């Protein structure tokens, strides 16, 4: 084990090997057969099966495999590798890693850059992390809560948070002073064509991560990643809908409008923001 993990029960350091971890108080954890660590306690669950279920994970894998978000993933991975190259043997955490699509692209870019690194992915969904394990064995995968990450204090040089909830207190605790956050979130026009088909009134979120992160973080820059892509058939339209939160909110009439389409032109609009831990 080369990633500094804390026991989720008592917060003391975990030590061991690739199969078994234990803290000084003898709380112990065995690696799952697939290779991940389940460090999510029962009292940290708001439901019996938190996070994305198996169907949601599979829908996202199906859509991402089509390559429409590859340009986005490449840009995120390149920016992360650029930041990693500024450190010696950086420890990097992808919080809310899902099924590992972006995390694995980060790993590939870090390897191509020749950076000596340690990379972990964390998600509250066991189904997502199981899927991630099948994509890479070189990443430390964890099922855990982002609100109480089993990661040592001031042990990280980089945290990426891609389309996930921000946890400023935990980011402050686990990042070294001067370390960075890389945050991806939807821009105002992200999938605007789909949203206009679904909702009578399209609302803009006006989301600004700086207002959530507070005074412990300094905004460095925000980069807009924007391009057009096309879904050529009804199958891909349905796959995208199943992957997004809009699929949960859509009413029957909007579903029928989408079902009548033979293709759909879309805008990808994502903001990639850098923040420094003060």
Judge whether 142 and 44 are in contact, CB under 8 Å: no
The angle, 0 to 180 degrees and rounded to 10, between the axes of the packed helices 54-64 and 101-113 is: 50
Q: What's the rounded Cα separation, in Å, for the pair 217 and 214? A: 6
100 among the known binding-site residues? yes
Look up residue 90 and give its two tokens: 């950086």
99 among the known binding-site residues? yes
27 among the known binding-site residues? yes
69 among the known binding-site residues? yes
98 among the known binding-site residues? no
104 among the known binding-site residues? no
199 among the known binding-site residues? no
Q: What's the rounded Cα separation, in Å, for the pair 189 and 198? A: 14
Q: What's the rounded Cα separation, in Å, for the pair 158 and 167? A: 14
Query: What residues contact residue 93 under an 8 Å CB cut-off, 6+ apart?
Result: 119, 120, 121, 122, 149, 151, 156, 158, 159, 160, 174
Q: What's the rounded Cα separation, in Å, for the pair 54 and 45? A: 17
Q: Which residues sit in the known binding site for Zn(2+)?
A: 7, 10, 23, 27
The binding site for S-adenosyl-L-methionine comprises 69, 99-100, 190
- Which residues fall in the annotated binding site? 7, 10, 23, 27, 69, 99-100, 190
């Amino acid at each position: 084990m080369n990633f500094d993990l804390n026991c989720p029960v008592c917060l003391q350091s975990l030590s061991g090997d690739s199969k078994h971890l234990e803290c000084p108080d003898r709380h112990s954890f065995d690696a799952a057969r697939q290779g991940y660590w389940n460090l999510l306690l029962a009292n940290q669950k708001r439901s019996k099966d938190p996070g994305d279920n198996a169907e949601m994970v599979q829908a996202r894998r199906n859509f991402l495999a089509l390559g429409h978000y590859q340009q986005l993933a490449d840009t995120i991975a390149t920016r992360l590798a650029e930041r990693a190259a500024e450190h010696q043997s950086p420890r990097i955490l992808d919080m809310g890693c899902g099924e590992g699509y972006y995390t694995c692209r980060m790993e590939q870019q870090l390897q191509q850059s020749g950076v000596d690194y340690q990379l972990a992915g964390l998600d509250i969904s066991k189904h997502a992390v199981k899927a991630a394990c099948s994509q890479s064995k070189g990443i430390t995968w964890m099922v855990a809560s982002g609100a109480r990450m089993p990661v040592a204090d001031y042990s990280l040089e980089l945290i990426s948070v891609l389309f996930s909830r921000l946890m400023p207190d935990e980011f402050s605790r686990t990042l070294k002073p001067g370390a960075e956050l890389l945050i991806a979130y939807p821009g105002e026009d992200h999938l605007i064509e789909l949203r206009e088909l679904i909702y009578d009134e399209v609302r803009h979120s006006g989301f600004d991560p700086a207002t959530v992160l507070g005074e412990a973080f300094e905004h460095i820059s925000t980069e807009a990643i924007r391009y057009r892509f096309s879904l050529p058939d009804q199958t891909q339209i349905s796959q995208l809908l199943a992957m997004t939160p809009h699929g949960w909110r859509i009413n029957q009439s909007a579903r029928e409008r989408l079902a009548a389409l033979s293709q759909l032109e879309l805008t990808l609009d994502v903001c990639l923001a850098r923040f420094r831990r003060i």
